[in-house]
């Protein structure tokens, strides 16, 4: 679809024609938005993510695949952004995280990407299936213990937003208290308020630099220590950037996916009935949710290394592209597969695992398997322990987060039959955000990581 003959394609200047899609509100019909853009512009549309940020949003399924797979033409390196090269923007903390730059595998291509992704992949491979499963079950139980006797909970704030962060924090080799801080940082980095997002990004860097410093002094059987000792021999700065990448890949998308799966089971009685009767597997429901309500709706960015034509749209070198996963999943050219249904099932047949949120080509997500395990075990553990689970408000009153890049509920209030938390020899008192925030252990080291913890406690108690 990429064409080097610009005279055969109509021009569509990015700045002149960009349609504002920011500030449209959390409950806007985004499926309708994608189709309006597709109807007007075709498979690539000029949009504004903010008043001063125009990008090309790739709407077509095949076009998204092409851009993700062809790293030599569509680079992930933000330094190639035309605005950066021409001095109109600076790669600093004022840029939203999705458009910033770090020396990580996320922003590298080719040989440099292979060098930087190797420590991540090799460290993940050293986590045994037994350890992963046991930690997911144990952490799920910790969180459920904190609300199971109340008969009500917010399955986002009390569960989905915390489970991936606590688990990644454990795999990094830290006590659970730090996981609550990591959860707060990860969520705040996506805040539409640039000042809050920038502050969180700074503290996130401090968290991981402190983690590297602590693990160099006290290594263990954890992802951080294994990456430190990897034969690649990364610098501290490189280690920090790879750990931030791994945390980002394992937390926010997983939180949103877990929340969206739970939401589906609560609002779609047909899917819930099929699952409870054994008619469909949880993996099928997860893939269905990823296809229809992807937890990552769009993802920045790619930058053409030369002038190209994509789906009859002329795009200049260095003009930013954003991958439109939600729009691509709704591409009418896929309707023959995605609109059909398996016999006796409410879930669409075919293409269930052909979604795009895990990426394609060399930049596919390194934590895909881990994320799927967290969601699968997390859902099963909750449903095993909590009974008569029901929405606490009418479905129409649920609030979705405003970020255009994410599809995630702000909260998911539920009611259920209360049950007492069991006695646990290792965890006699369930750790909660409030107890974590007030837990001033006397033997806590005085280092950079602890200063991040104190920063988070100050905000959690305010």
Q: What is the mean pLDDT of residues 290-297?
A: 91
Contacts 24+ apart (CB under 8 A), 168-172: 168/246, 168/247, 168/250, 168/251, 170/135, 170/139, 171/127, 171/135, 171/222, 171/223, 172/211, 172/222, 172/223, 172/224, 172/243, 172/247
Instruction: Sort 375 into a burial class: Cβ within 10 Å, 0-12 / 13-18 / 19+.
Output: buried
Select from 129, 128, 368, 372 the least CA-distant residue to 226.
Answer: 128
The count of C-alpha atoms lying within 13 angstroms of the C-alpha of 195, restricted to the half-sphere facing its C-beta, is 0
Task: Report CA 147 to chain centroid distance, whole Å.
Answer: 25
Q: What is the mean pLDDT of residues 153-171?
A: 96
Indicate whether 428 pLDDT > 60: no
Contact indicator for 38, 335 with CB cutoff of 8 Å: no
What is the per-residue DSSP string for 403-448? -TTB--BS--EEE----PPPP-SS-SS---HHHHHT---TT---SH
**Residue percentage of the chain with pLDDT more than 90:** 59
Q: Residue 303: beta bridge partners?
A: 75
Residue 246: CB partners within 8 Å, gap ≥ 6?
120, 124, 168, 223, 366, 367
Select from 367, 368, 381 the least CA-distant residue to 159.
Answer: 381
Instruction: Sort 342 into a burial class: Cβ within 10 Å, 0-12 / 13-18 / 19+.
Output: middle
In the predicted model, what is the mean pLDDT of the chain? 86
Which residue has tokens 């016999």?
343
Contact indicator for 25, 33 with CB cutoff of 8 Å: no
Query: For the chain, first and last CA: distance in Å?
Result: 53
Region at 163 (left for phi over 0; alpha for psi -120 to 50; beta for the rest): alpha
Indicate whether 310 pLDDT > 90: yes
For 344-380, write each residue's pLDDT tens digit.
445 554 446 678 888 877 778 888 889 999 999 999 9
* Per-residue pLDDT, 153: 97
Select from 134, 143, 125 the least CA-distant residue to 223.
Answer: 125
**Residue percentage of the chain with pLDDT more than 70:** 86
* Per-residue pLDDT, 380: 96
Q: Identify the three-state secondary structure at position 50.
A: strand
For 100-128, write each residue's pLDDT tens digit.
888 898 889 999 999 999 999 999 999 99
Distance set, CA 178 to CA 21, 120, 161, 191 (Å): 36, 21, 14, 20
Domain limits, the chain: 2-460
Indicate whether 223 pLDDT > 60: yes
Q: Identify the three-state secondary structure at position 309.
A: strand
* Per-residue pLDDT, 401: 87
Q: What is the mean pLDDT of residues 217-233?
A: 96
pTM for this structure?
0.88
* Per-residue pLDDT, 373: 95
Residue 89: CB partners within 8 Å, gap ≥ 6?
81, 83, 95
What is the per-residue DSSP string for 313-356? EEE-TT--EEEEHHHHHT-GGGHHHHS-B-TT-SSBPS-TT--S
Query: What sign has the CA pseudo-torsion 26, 368, 205, 320?
Result: negative
Q: Identify the three-state secondary structure at position 151.
A: coil
For 331-341, write each residue's pLDDT tens digit.
998 875 444 44
* Per-residue pLDDT, 27: 63
Which residue has tokens 């993940």?
124
Which range among 27-31, 44-48, 121-125, 391-395 shows the weakest confidence by mean pLDDT?
27-31
Pick the CATH number of 2-460 from 1.10.630.10, 3.40.50.720, 3.20.20.140, 1.10.760.10: 1.10.630.10
């Amino acid at each position: 679809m990429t064409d080097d003959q610009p005279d055969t394609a109509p021009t569509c200047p990015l700045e002149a024609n960009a349609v504002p899609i920011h500030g449209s509100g959390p409950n806007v019909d985004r499926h309708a938005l994608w189709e309006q853009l597709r109807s007007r512009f075709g498979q690539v549309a000029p949009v504004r993510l903010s008043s001063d940020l125009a990008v090309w949003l790739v709407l077509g399924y095949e076009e998204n695949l092409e851009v993700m797979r062809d790293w030599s033409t569509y680079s992930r390196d933000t330094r190639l952004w035309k605005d950066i090269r021409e001095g109109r923007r600076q790669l600093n903390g004022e840029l939203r995280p999705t458009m910033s730059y770090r020396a990580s595998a996320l922003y590298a291509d080719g040989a440099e990407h292979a060098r930087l992704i190797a420590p991540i992949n090799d460290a993940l491979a050293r986590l045994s299936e037994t350890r992963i499963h046991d930690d997911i079950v144990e952490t799920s139980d910790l969180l459920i213990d904190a609300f199971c006797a109340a008969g009500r909970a917010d399955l986002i704030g009390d569960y989905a937003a915390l489970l991936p962060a606590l688990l990644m924090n454990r795999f990094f080799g830290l006590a659970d208290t730090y996981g609550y801080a990591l959860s707060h940082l990860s969520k705040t980095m996506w805040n539409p308020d640039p000042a809050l997002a920038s502050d969180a990004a700074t503290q996130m860097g401090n968290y991981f630099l402190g983690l590297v410093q602590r693990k160099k002094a006290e290594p263990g059987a954890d992802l951080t220590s294994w990456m430190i000792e990897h034969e690649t021999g990364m610098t501290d700065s490189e280690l920090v950037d790879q750990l931030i990448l791994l945390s980002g890949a394992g937390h926010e998308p997983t939180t949103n996916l877990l929340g969206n799966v739970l939401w589906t089971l609560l609002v779609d009685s047909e899917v819930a009935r099929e699952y409870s009767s054994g008619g469909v597997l949880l993996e099928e429901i997860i893939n269905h949710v990823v296809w229809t309500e992807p937890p990552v709706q769009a993802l920045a960015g790619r930058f053409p290394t030369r002038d190209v034509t994509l789906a009859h749209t002329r795009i200049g070198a260095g003009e930013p592209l954003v991958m439109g996963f939600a729009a691509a999943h709704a591409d009418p050219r896929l309707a023959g597969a995605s609109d059909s249904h398996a016999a006796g099932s409410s879930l669409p047949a075919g293409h269930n695992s052909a979604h795009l949120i895990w990426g394609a080509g060399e930049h596919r997500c390194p934590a895909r398997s881990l994320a799927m395990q967290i969601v699968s075990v997390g859902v099963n553990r909750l449903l095993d322990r909590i009974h008569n689970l029901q929405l606490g408000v009418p479905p129409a009153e649920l609030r979705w987060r405003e970020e255009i890049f994410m599809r995630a509920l702000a909260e998911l209030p539920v009611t259920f039959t209360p049950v007492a938390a069991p006695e646990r020899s290792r965890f006699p008192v369930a750790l909660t955000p409030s107890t974590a925030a007030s837990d001033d252990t006397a033997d806590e080291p005085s280092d950079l990581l602890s200063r991040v913890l104190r920063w988070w406690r100050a905000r959690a108690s305010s």
